[in-house]
Structure 1
Amino acid sequence: MRIHDKCLSCVVNQVIKVANITGVDKKDELYREAFTYLSKLDF
């Protein structure tokens, strides 16, 4: 998947908002998984 580097901050904000809205217990684990996935994207 190709993503524009300017989109990255919005995607990160969405991850944080979803974690807060859903009341995830282990936010650190969610963030780690999301950021690991994002680090593998093609810019």
Structure 2
Amino acid sequence: MIGGVAFCVSVWGFVLTQTGITWNLSPVGKVQPKPWREVEE
């Protein structure tokens, strides 16, 4: 049980780190969805 939780946390930490780096390199993708949702509504 504890080993499984540790494994999941390490995987999620890796995924969040990789996606965080990607988002930091492309701020446009972070800003774009908000106005797009406002226009759609």
TM-score normalized by the length of structure 1: 0.40
Larger radius of gyration: 2
Bigger relative CO (Cα 8 Å, ≥ 6 apart): 1
Higher helix share: 2
